[in-house]
Amino acid sequence: MSTEELIQELKANIIEVLNLEDVTPEQINSDEPLFEEGLGLDSIDALEMVVMLEKSYGIAVQDIEETKKAFASISALAAFVAENRTK
């Protein structure tokens, strides 16, 4: 799977898992922050995303600092998934 395909898949998964109504993958900037400004996600959303990473990609999130970096943007998350996925 190419990086761009993974980015599109992650956008679709995030929209579905977080029930982001009225948001399309095209509206999410891959380099925009996911939390606070940008997409405006919160800590509950982060927990739901961790569960999604475990179920969809077999990634067991253990290092909080590494996770913070991975959740910086969709691009950062795609790089993290590509490097750590087991599924």
Give the pLDDT score at 24: 94
> According to the model, what pLDDT value does residue 57 have?
96
Residue by residue, DSSP assigns 22-46 as T--GGGS-TTS-SBSSTT-B-HHHH
Residue 68 near residue 35 (C-beta atoms within 8 A): no
Average pLDDT over every residue of 11-19: 96
Task: Give residue 1's pLDDT band: very low, low, confident or very high (50, 70, 90).
Answer: confident
Q: State how far the Cα of 24 lies from the Cα of 83, in Å rounded to an integer.
A: 26
Whether the predicted pLDDT of 33 surpasses 90:
yes
Tell me the pLDDT tens digit for each residue of 36-64: 888 889 989 999 999 999 999 999 888 87
- Averaged confidence pLDDT in the chain: 92
For domain 3-84, is the CATH number 1.10.1200.10?
Answer: yes
